[in-house]
Amino acid sequence: MPEKHTAEIKAEPFAFPLKRDAIALVVIDMQRDFAEPGGFGASLGNDVGRITKIIPDVKRLIEGFRMAGLPVIHTMECHRPDLSDLPPAKRNRGNPALKIGDAGPMGRVLIAGEAGTAILSELAPIDGEIVIEKPGKGAFYATPLGDILKARGIEQIVFAGVTTEVCVQTTMREANDRGYECLLAEEATESYFPEFKTAAIAMITAQGAIVGWVGSVDDIIKGIA
Ligand code: C5J
């Protein structure tokens, strides 16, 4: 089958070969629980201010995809209220004083439908955008994401969201193994640990883009425009 690259986006470790008709943006877990005081991230002792700082860049990227008429998919890490999709191995780690499913200042932590689980209002999905509720760190595990992407003919994914080395990197690895070409938007992703973001990007792009590429929000928006 002939390749259908339409342009290149400046990226590391080399230019990303864009297929403009087959690319989607996946925004990982930009939820209040990871970004606001009182949420899951804060309960683990993290500086959530690191996450709120990227909101303008994530917003710019989402708007770039919307303007280009390209799909935007949002994910939310969350569990059913009866905890039937929360393995004890996940629930029993973290902060024993505020476990997933416990009642916190923003409702039950990481439970579907609770206030703290919602996507940040600045980045809220608009009508027609898909929201994937995921019980794992990776967005393909136990979700319809793979089928949705296949039905839409998606072959390439731009990733944004948090945290770089946990849910973003896990999902990029899942996508890479499923044959998607993955491009991480550098300023639109963040970690609670700056050194982990740097390391994750190095791991992703090493060995000739073994997991994928990294590029700037500006270059990605320019590429898809
Ligand atoms: C974490 C995530 N870090 N969205 N979740 O627990 O990265």
Burial of 139 from C-beta contacts in 10 A (0-12 / 13-18 / 19+): buried
- Residue by residue, what is the 3-state secondary structure of 173-221? HHHHHCCCEEEEEEEEEECCCHHHHHHHHHHHHHHHHCCCEEECHHHHH
Q: Which of the residues are catalytic?
A: 29, 134, 167
What local confidence, expressed as pLDDT, does residue 5 receive? Answer: 81
User: What distance in Å separates the CA atoms of residue 121 and residue 13, rounded to the nearest whole number?
Assistant: 34
Which tens digits make up the pLDDT trace of 145-154? 999 999 999 9
- Centroid of ligand 1 to alpha carbon of 159 (angstroms): 14
Which residues are 23's β-sheet partners? 156
What local confidence, expressed as pLDDT, does residue 2 receive? Answer: 45
User: What distance in Å separates the CA atoms of residue 64 and residue 85, rounded to the nearest whole number?
Assistant: 34
The finding on whether 29 has its CB within 6 A of some atom of ligand 1 is: yes
The finding on whether 181 has its CB within 6 A of some atom of ligand 1 is: no
What is the CATH architecture of 20-224? Answer: 3-Layer(aba) Sandwich (3.40)
Which tens digits make up the pLDDT trace of 91-146? 999 899 999 999 999 999 999 999 999 999 999 999 999 999 999 999 999 999 99
User: What distance in Å separates the CA atoms of residue 66 and residue 60, rounded to the nearest whole number?
Assistant: 10
3: pLDDT confidence band, cut at 50, 70 and 90?
low
Which tens digits make up the pLDDT trace of 190-205? 999 999 999 999 999 9
Choose among 208, 129, 218: nearest CA to 176: 208
User: Quick one: average pLDDT of 150-172?
Assistant: 98
Report the nearest-CA residue for atom 4 of ligand 1: 167
Q: Is 157 helix (H, G, I), strand (E, B) or coil?
A: strand
Q: Does 89 have pLDDT greater than 70?
A: yes
Number of H helices, E strands in the chain: 9, 10
Query: DSSP string of 30-60?
Result: -BHHHHSTTSHHHHTT--THHHHTTHHHHHH
Domain boundaries, the chain: 20-224
- Centroid of ligand 1 to alpha carbon of 4 (angstroms): 34
What local confidence, expressed as pLDDT, does residue 6 receive? Answer: 82
User: Quick one: average pLDDT of 64-80?
Assistant: 98
What local confidence, expressed as pLDDT, does residue 170 receive? Answer: 98
* 29 Cα nearest atom in ligand 1: 4
Which tens digits make up the pLDDT trace of 14-70? 999 999 999 999 999 999 999 999 999 999 999 999 999 999 999 999 999 999 999
Q: Is 153 helix (H, G, I), strand (E, B) or coil?
A: coil
